[in-house]
Structure 1
Amino acid sequence: MSAWLKDETTLRTGAAQHHGVDIFALLRDQSGPQAAQVTAAGAAWLAGAAPYPRSTLAHWEERPKAPGVLPCGSAFDVVNVPALFGRRMLEQLWAEGPGSGPVATHRGRMLLFAAPGTAQRLPSLLAWEEWGTSGSGGGGDSGKQRGAVPPVLCHGTGDAVTVPPLTCVPSESGPRWVVAPDTRSPWLPGPDVLLWACVRVSRSSSSPGAAHTIFPRADQGANVYDVTRRR
Structure 2
Amino acid sequence: MDIWTHQSVEYVTVAGEAWLASASEYPRSMRALWESRPWAPSVLPCGRTFDVISMPALFGRRVLDELWTSGPGCGPVAAYRGRTLLFVQPGTAPRLRRLLAWEEWARDVPPLLCHGLGDAVTVPPVQRMVNSPDSPGLGSGRWIVAPEERDPWLPGASVVLWACVRASREPADRAEPVAVPSC
TM-score, normalising length from structure 1? 0.68
The yes-or-no answer on 1:38 pairing with 2:12 is yes
Residues 126-183 of structure 1, C-alpha deviation per residue, up to 9 Å, x if partnerless? 1222x2577xxxxxxxxxxxxx211100000000011110111455322110000000
Secondary structure of 1:184 counterpart: coil
Gap change, CA 1:132 and 1:167, over 3 Å in 2: closer
Secondary structure of 2:128 counterpart: coil
Distance 1:89 1:107 in 2: 18
Q: Which residue of 2 aligns with 1:167?
A: 127
Q: Which residue of 1 aligns with 2:3?
A: none
Q: Which amino acid aligns with 1:214?
A: V
Gap change, CA 1:204 and 1:181, over 3 Å in 2: same
Distance 2:178 2:105 in 1: 31
Q: Which amino acid aligns with 2:141?
A: P
Gap change, CA 1:211 and 1:128, over 3 Å in 2: farther
The yes-or-no answer on 1:89 pairing with 2:63 is yes
Gap change, CA 1:133 and 1:190, over 3 Å in 2: closer
Q: Which residue of 2 aligns with 1:176?
A: 142
Secondary structure of 1:201 counterpart: helix
Distance 1:178 1:170 in 2: 15
Q: Which residue of 2 aligns with 1:27?
A: none
Tell me, which stretches of 5 or more residues in structure 2 are unaligned?
1-6, 132-137
- Offset at 1:215? 4.4
Tell me, which stretches of 5 or more residues in structure 1 are unaligned?
1-31, 135-147, 217-231
Question: Kindly, what percent of the aligned residue pairs are identical?
Answer: 58
Q: Which residue of 2 aligns with 1:214?
A: 178
Distance 2:114 2:68 in 1: 21
TM-align CA RMSD: 1.9
Residues 192-211 of structure 1, C-alpha deviation per residue, up to 9 Å, x if partnerless? 000000010111137xx725
Q: Which residue of 1 aligns with 2:158?
A: 192
Distance 2:37 2:30 in 1: 11
Kindly indicate whether the alpha-carbon contact (under 8 Å) linking 1:87 and 1:215 is maintained by their aligned counterparts in 2.
no
Q: Which amino acid aligns with 1:115?
A: Q
Secondary structure of 2:8 counterpart: coil
Q: Which amino acid aligns with 1:180?
A: A
Note the 1:63-102 alignment, pairs <5 A. 63-102=37-76
- Offset at 1:34? 2.9
Kindly indicate whether the alpha-carbon contact (under 8 Å) linking 2:57 and 2:79 is maintained by their aligned counterparts in 1.
yes
Kindly indicate whether the alpha-carbon contact (under 8 Å) linking 1:78 and 1:156 is maintained by their aligned counterparts in 2.
yes
Gap change, CA 1:115 and 1:133, over 3 Å in 2: closer
TM-score, normalising length from structure 2? 0.85
- Of structures 1 and 2, the larger Rg is shown by 1
- Offset at 1:53? 0.7
